[in-house]
Amino acid sequence: MLNVPFGTLGHSGVEPFPAAWSRVPVLRLLGTSTFHAEHHEHPKYNFGFYTLLWDRLFGTLDPDYERRFRQEDAG
């Protein structure tokens, strides 16, 4: 049931989540459209789908993710 909405958002090219989520510990672990788009741009990063937990733990989170996530919300 989660796969369709997450897949649709992840491939929509639109970031629906507010930048403030990056400052809330639990919410900053959720996969976002920006996170998924970066995976397609940089195949060595962002392997998670629903969460960023494993990417944060194993160092595979795109180093530019936080900045781009906040920028997508602003733009």
pLDDT of 35-71, one tens digit each?
988 988 999 999 988 899 999 999 999 999 999 988 8
Global model pTM greater than 0.95: no
- Smallest CA-to-CA distance from 16 within 64, 72, 65 is with 72
Report the pLDDT value the prediction gives residue 74, as an integer from 0 to 100.
60
C-beta atoms surrounding 74 within 10 Å: 8
CB-based contacts of 69, cutoff 8 Å, min separation 6: 15, 17, 19, 21, 22, 32, 34, 35
Band (75; pLDDT cuts 50, 70, 90): low
Helix H or strand E segment including 70: helix 65-74
Q: Does residue 6 have a pLDDT over 80?
A: no
